[in-house]
Amino acid sequence: MDFARADALNQAIRLLSLRHRARAAALLTPLGLHPGQEVLLLELARSGPMIQAQLSGALGCEPPSVTLMASKLEASGHIRRSPAPTDRRATLVELTDSGRELADQVRRAWRTLAEETVVGLGEETVASLPEILGTLAENAGAGRRATGANATTRRPRRTGRG
């Protein structure tokens, strides 16, 4: 790929990331949330109570980040943390009734964000975006982990789309 194309691609991804995060923040602020906290709430709503270390893995966040988010959400009454019944050293995290209500509001905000983000795109394009963006995220993560020759010889996963 020549530099002009690489630069255009990288700039587009960067700009999308910045604008998406800013718009997410604008939609989450009235709910009393900061970006990142919503994914914790949604994961607990989807999966049910979890050990905090498992939650860290599910969110792809470092444990101290999850601890900080959980502390803030607990202080606002949206989650409850308690010793895990099977391992007193582990912390069980679960939604409160307030957290379940907030998760419903977050789902509405996320639908709004997604709808605004894909305005003007055809249904087929929109349907293909999760796979394409997932592949891009996977490739970016693999590039970060690769070293030496592996970084240049690794073949990206194909999406099956032209």
Question: What would be the CATH architecture of the domain defined by 3-118?
Answer: Orthogonal Bundle (1.10)
What is the b/e burial string over 100-109, where b = at least 16 CB atoms within 10 angstroms of the residue's CB? eebbebbeeb
pTM for the whole structure = 0.78
List Cα–Cα distances, 120 to 16, 18, 22, 117, 124, in angstroms.
15, 20, 20, 9, 12
Tell me, what's the pLDDT at 87? 86
What's the mean per-residue pLDDT of the chain? 88
Question: What is the distance between the alpha carbons of residues 73 and 67, in angstroms, rounded to a whole number?
Answer: 10
pLDDT in tens, 45-101: 999 999 999 999 999 889 999 999 999 999 999 999 999 988 888 999 999 999 999
